Structures are given as structure tokens and as C-alpha cells.
A and B are shown apart, each in its own frame.
Chain A
């Protein structure tokens, strides 16, 4: 039997970043790891079989997550030394050549720090293969026999059913499968196992000015243009609008429930 190659993309991220509320400066907790989504990707890579290659691009701290991958059962681990601020496209360009002949390449749906979810798509583009991203379910039992049935989360709560034929890049949500817990012997052995090392050039690095998140002003519906200037002003200021006055009710659960149901009924939310 010809052995299949499977790839998995693991990013070492800060798991509990602290952002200064004024400057937006990230005071990282230096102890990062794999996100839950990446952990899930690793588990799926191991389950769908073949020879599993784990790849992580970034600073040498990437080796920590690769050791975890080796302990969990990955066969090869490759650290691609790359500026951690490299663009998603640059990350993809750096890792894709290492995964060229893989049947499936697994990844997490979003990284915790960048969160664009774009690296897997760029990798698919680099490799010129199919992509199925943001998966919420994978039928792993079907692995190895034809296309892989998966479910992909859409907006509005809908889900799409897909069949993904190899070669393809798949990205998965956290918690889709429970990750395995490596044995103690494997953890100890992984500490000695070799991690391959490549160096990649980052290309132009998109450096922007960082700030703490502040919501953007939202666009609201403007006043009706057919009205007079005064009417529009009144409408915009809300000065003469009649509101039900807010009510504060103190009471035990039963009383509160009465109030709530009556209120929801009066507003038409319950019949």
C-alpha cells in the first residue's frame, strides 16, 4: 500500500493575551501554545492517517507546539523560522512547499492572535488544491475511502454539507473532536525527537499602528427626507418621541415571572 501523507498547520499563539486598554499594546503571556482549533486539526490529521507532518512557522517557540505534535503521534515536525509578523500570504508561501504531496492538510479555523482564517486558504491557493474551511463536523470514519464528508458552518446558522476529495486544505473549529492525551513515554521521547528546521523570508511585513479596540460609530437610518426640517430635527433628536417609561420591579421569582410574561405579551413577543 502506498502511504498517504497528511499535513497539519500549527501556530504557536499567546493563549491569554492581555491588551493595554489605552494603547492596545499586547502584553503577552510568554507562555503560549496551540489553540483549541489547532489541537483539533492535529487530532484529525492523526485520525485520517498516513504519515503526518506537522509544520509551524514563527519564532523558535514554535518548537514547543511541534513537540506536542510529536508526542501526540506526528511523524515529522518542521519548524519554519519566520518573522512572526509576516503576512498570512507569506506564512502560506513558507509552509506550502513542505506540504506539496499531502492528501489533506489540516488547520485551525482562526488563529487567536491574527484571526483572519486566511492562512489555510492561501496555502490551498499556493498548492492549487481545493479548500473547505470553517468545518464544524468531519466524518473521520470515511477517511481513506473516497471523498471526505464534512459539514461547513455558514452564516445565519445554516450549515453546508460537502464532500472533499484529496488533495485539499481543511480548516476546523475548536472542539470538533476531542484531542488525544499523549502518554508519558511519548512525551518524554518527544523531548529528544528531532525537529527539522527551515528558514523562510517574510517578504514585506504589514506593520500597522496598534490601538485597543474601540467600536466604530455605526450608521443609523437617517430621517425621512419628505418631512420638514423641523420634523426631521425632532425625529433625529428623539425629543418628542413617546416611550414607555422603564420599569423596575422588585420581587420573588414568581412575581418576576408574572411581570416578565405580561411584559413580553404587551410587546407582542408572546401570544
Chain B
């Protein structure tokens, strides 16, 4: 009688690196580490990478240039974003700045809409092709440490489920249980948690193209401010191949205080007079909601400790505030940096915090930390009452009055209209100036 497969002695011990989580950060880390010759185990909770990540999004994959050459030829995308619109809205008005460029529709492209289940699967495949061992349906439940407190591996929910390795890379997403258990979050506050909720509405491909003025694989992304009522946040709409995603990104706390459900906010966005005509007859295909670290630089945890690195949402590297929703690019960038650092540290035989110092250096030299540092004040600004309500109202009123023909009254000048509007909204020039400056500092 043949033997059933038995764990080879020590088989569970033969890894240099354990990567926890196969989202963009985890797969990028596993890919880079495996390419560098390390024995990598990539653990993921769901039955396949991307299983829990049903939502799609707009991703900015240029960071892949260094990982997967010509990535655009094989990455599973829905549409390339060639039209990006920013909409300032009040309940009955909308002012949209609509930008369109051919440049974003050809290599190396800029942003794309993609389904996360496809994107995550594709990235994980690359990690496996590079030699990483992918283990699915396995949840990490704790960290293993040696007597000195150094992290030496992870415990999983499987029988005989301990896995030792020289280095653990925690890519377990928002609210990272591993980073917390490792003591890397000094204080973790619910204030910094944002909720993203989204509906995918099915619409025939021709309709998507006709309604949004698109052709081929071109796509549109609309970011909206002023569509979430009294709750600070933003709305978005983007086009997939044969569906449209509509959603909101709002503060969890404000939502709870207002006793509202995210679906109600989405319903509000869908009913907005500037959006409703786009969606007529579209059929709800799926609904999803997920928390996002609102992030910003100021909420990031420590990024490394003896035997462990943290990357992606686990390290609050997502930028989510109102019209912003960028996390995949940061996760990829940080994951790759973690993978490179792993290769360096394992080769040097030092995976203590000191041996892992190259991680922060890489993040500083790249875009991850500089961008976050630069945008650290963006959430506050975008979520302030003025940006949320007063400015959209002001801008809409101004444009409305400018373009309303009031004959036989003579036309009023723009400056006069602006001044009147500011007064009517109870705003002060000083605040306006301050926001202007902080906007410049943030985005300039």
C-alpha cells in the first residue's frame, strides 16, 4: 500500500521568508524575495488570492515597471483611464472638471480599472512562477517568538500549523493584526478608519461606451465631493468593461453618529441629478464594503522589528480621503521594497531590526514615504466642512450665476459674485486663503 503524503520532517521549517497575505503587497514581496533566491511561503486566508477582495478599483500600476516588464500586455484590466473628472456637487448642482488625454490610453499608460479578484490572482501567479509556495485557506493566528522576543515565524489555524522562517513579512491588510501583535502600532484609533462601500451595476458594454463617451478599452473615473450629505467623504464612479462601479469613501465615525448605512449614501450618489442619467436601467450586480486605513503618514505604525517587516495597508500605506483612493500602488511599492530587503537581510544573515534597516531606506528613496509625507494633511483638508460643503456650493453658485442670463439686469462681474457668495455662505477670506495655501503645500 502506497504511503499517504506525510509531512517530510522539517518541511514546515524550510522557508527563509513567510509572507502573510496575498494582496498586492504580499504578492509583490513574495515575488521579489523569490526572485532573489529565497525560499518563500505565501500564506493567505481565502481559498485563493483576491477571494475576499470582491471590489475593483482604479489602480496605478506604473510601479510594476521594475517587477514585471511590459506588465500592461498581461495584466487583467477592465479599462484604461483616459478621462478623469472631478465633480464638486451640491444636492442640485454639479461643477465638473473633465480631463481627457490620449496619452493615458497607450503604453506605459497611467491608471486602469481592474477587478481585484483578477488582479490579486495574477500577481500571486507571478510570485508562484518565481518559486514562492502559495498556501491558501490558511489564517495566521499569531506570531512565534524566541526567548529574546524576536519573531521567528507564524502560527496558523491549521493542525500542526506552525511555520518558522528567518523573516515574516506582514501584508495582512488594514487593521493588521500582526503589526498590532508585534507592538508596532503605538495607538490604534478608530478615527483613522474610513469605510469604502461600492455597488457594481451591470450595464451592457455598448451602453457604457455610449453613455460615457468611450471606445475600446478607454475608461472614465469621476471623483466627487459634496455628494455624501452631512457625512464627510467623497464619492466615485468608474467604468469597468460592462459595468459601472459607484461608491463612497466616508469616515466610519461620522457614519455611525449619523446612524446611516453606506447603502443609503450610495443611493444618494446614484440619485444625484448629474449621475442618475448615467445609470438608468443598470442592474445591481454586487455590493461590497470594506474598511480602509484613512492613513496618511501620521498614522503609520513602526515598519519593522526583529524578524518582521510590515507593508501595504497593514502599515496604513493607503491614502483614502474623499476623492482619494490609492492603496494598491503603495502596497506594490512597499511589498517590493520589503522583498528586496528580505533578500539583502537573509544573505547577510541578519534579520533583526538593524539588518532590516534597508526597508525604510528604500521606502524613503522611492515614492511610498515621500508621497505620504507630502499628502499627510490631505485627509484633513478634504474632509473639512469647507471642502465638503461650502466650497462646492460656492463654486456651483458662482458658475450658475455667471452663466445665468439675467436680462434686463446687467451682468455682474465674477469677483462681485464671488464676494457675495462668500458672504452668503458665512465664509471668511482668511480661511479661504489658509486652505489655499495648505492645498498648495499639499499638492503643489
Contacts and interface: CB of A to CB of B under 8 A. Distances in A.
B5 A70 contact: yes
Interface in A198-235: none
A52 B118 CA distance: 35
Contacts of A189: 5-8, 11
B1 A183 contact: no
B48 interface: yes
User: In this complex, which of B3, B5, B6, B285 has the most chain A Cβ atoms within 10 angstroms of its Cβ?
Assistant: B5
A185 interface: yes
Given A181-B158, A183-B159, A188 B12 contact: yes
Contact of A31 (B7, B48, B283): B48
Contacts of A193: 5
Given A189-B5, A191-B133, A21 B158 contact: no
A184 B138 contact: yes
A186 B47 contact: no
A183 B161 contact: yes
Given A21-B283, A30-B121, A31-B121, A184 B4 contact: no
Given A31-B51, A31-B117, A185 B2 contact: no
A183 B158 contact: yes
Given A30-B121, A31-B48, A184 B160 contact: yes
A151 B350 CA distance: 61
A29 interface: yes
Given A70-B5, A74-B4, A75-B2, A185 B121 contact: no
Given A70-B5, A187-B135, A31 B158 contact: no
A182 B133 contact: no
A191 B135 CA distance: 9
A183 B138 CA distance: 10
A29 B117 contact: yes
B4 A188 contact: no
B291 interface: no
A261 B7 CA distance: 62
Nearest to A185: B7
**How extensive is the interface on chain A, given as a class?**
20 to 34
A76 B4 CA distance: 8
A3 interface: yes
A71 interface: yes
Nearest to B7: A185
Contacts of B163: 184
B156 interface: yes
B5 to A, nearest CB: 5
Given A75-B1, A182-B159, A183-B158, A188 B7 contact: yes
Contacts of A50: 1
A112 to B, nearest CB: 15
B160 A190 contact: no
A12 to B, nearest CB: 12
B121 A71 contact: no
Given A183-B159, A183-B161, A188-B133, A31 B47 contact: yes
B162 interface: yes
Nearest to A71: B5
Contacts of A188: 7, 11-12, 41, 133, 135
B2 A187 contact: no
Given A51-B2, A75-B2, A184 B162 contact: yes
A73 interface: yes
A112 B41 CA distance: 32
Contacts of A51: 1-2
A75 B7 CA distance: 13
A120 interface: no
A193 to B, nearest CB: 5
Nearest to B134: A191
A33 interface: yes
B121 A184 contact: no
A190 B7 CA distance: 8
Contacts of A71: 5
B331 to A, nearest CB: 21
Nearest to B47: A33
Nearest to A20: B202
Nearest to A30: B121
User: In this complex, which of A3, A15, A31, A74 has the most chain B Cβ atoms within 10 angstroms of its Cβ?
Assistant: A31
Interface string B1-32: 11111111001100000000000000000000
A116 to B, nearest CB: 26
A115 B40 CA distance: 40
Sorted nearest first, the 3 A-B pairs with minimum C-beta distance are A185-B7, A183-B159, A183-B160
30 contacts: A15-B47, A30-B121, A31-B48, A31-B117, A33-B47, A51-B1, A70-B5, A71-B5, A74-B4, A75-B1, A75-B4, A181-B158, A181-B159, A183-B159, A184-B158, A184-B159, A184-B161, A184-B162, A184-B163, A185-B7, A185-B11, A185-B12, A186-B6, A186-B160, A187-B135, A188-B41, A188-B135, A189-B7, A189-B11, A191-B135
Given A33-B47, A186-B6, 9 more contacts: A31-B47, A51-B1, A51-B2, A71-B5, A73-B5, A186-B7, A188-B7, A188-B11, A188-B135
